[in-house]
Amino acid sequence: MATRQALGKGLGALIPEKPPSELEGRKEFQICGIEEIQPNPFQPRKVFSEEQLKGLISSIQEKGILQPLVVRRKGSGYELIAGERRWRAAQRAGMKEVPILIRDVSESDLLELSLIENIQRENLNPIEEAEAYKKLIDQFRLTQEEISQRVGKDRTTITNTLRLLKLPSEIKQSLADGAISVGHGRAFLSLEGAEKQRLAFKKVLAASLSVRQTERLVKRLRVKASSPRLKKSQEWDSLVEELQRYLGTKVRIIGRGKRGKIEIAFYSREELDRLIDLLRR
């Protein structure tokens, strides 16, 4: 299938280089009513910058749409493959008709093309990008290696981007809004548990810390978190030794936080009676 072969190149392989004015008269280029077009349900991009849209609206009002929207047939109308910003801006500019290129694209290819085009243009925020990768994996059973080949990014980059989805919701929202960077997000991931990640996140926002400063903060938090555990472990080892000498049998201390239990092993009824006698003293 021609579309499948073009996926690795993005939509550039499906769009003629000439502008609409030079394509008139050719069958692949058409004009349709703007209301006949539906948005792409697989569009990975969720946030559309109001400032960028305003600039595009002004450009469309002055020069029209310079690059046609790429669509596929859907019922009695069309569904967008690419060009949602232009479509939105054209609506707000009051346009009744828009230039389109019709392509025969499956749902799987539709998502891939939307993802590839947006990533190659760097239009997605980190969370949108991660969610798009996840959708390719969950819905279309692509491996990370296959995604890497499609979008032209290293597999490690795909893996690290997907890991951002493990962060608490408020941190993911901050990444999506651009308040913190991917570097901040990766630093938070090295902390165990959502609460510690939230603590570091609040400190970063409060002090406007850079990525390097955040990495140092996370390192300090990790050392601080491990020190009490180490101290507790050493104390418990000493207590276990003392109890084992006194009771003459295997002893375990199991605890979490301020709670726990002591296990004392016995291997016969006589030994149990002996231990009970020792404990009663």
Q: Which one from 35, 51, 62, 84 is the annotated catalytic residue? A: 84
pLDDT tops 70 at residue 133: yes
Predicted pLDDT of residue 29: 77
Predicted pLDDT of residue 210: 95
One DSSP character per residue, the chain reads: -HHHHHGGGGGGGTS-SS-HHHHTT-TTEEEEEGGGEEPPTT-------HHHHHHHHHHHHHH--SSPEEEEEETTEEEEEE-HHHHHHHHHTT-SEEEEEE----HHHHHHHHHHHHHHTT-S-HHHHHHHHHHHHHHH---HHHHHHHHT--HHHHHHHHHGGGS-HHHHHHHHHTSS-HHHHHHHHTSSSHHHHHHHHHHHHHHT--HHHHHHHHHHHHHHHHHHHHHHHHHHHHHHHHHHHHHSS-EEEEEETTEEEEEE---SHHHHHHHHHHHH-
Predicted pLDDT of residue 188: 96
Predicted pLDDT of residue 28: 61
Is 263 among the residues known to form the active site? no
Work out the average pLDDT over 99-104: 89
Predicted pLDDT of residue 164: 96
**pLDDT, greater one: 142 or 52:** 142
Cβ atoms of 218 and 167 within 8 Å: the answer is no
List pLDDT tens digits, range 177-193: 999 999 999 999 999 89
Residue range 2-121 in CATH 3.40.50.300: no
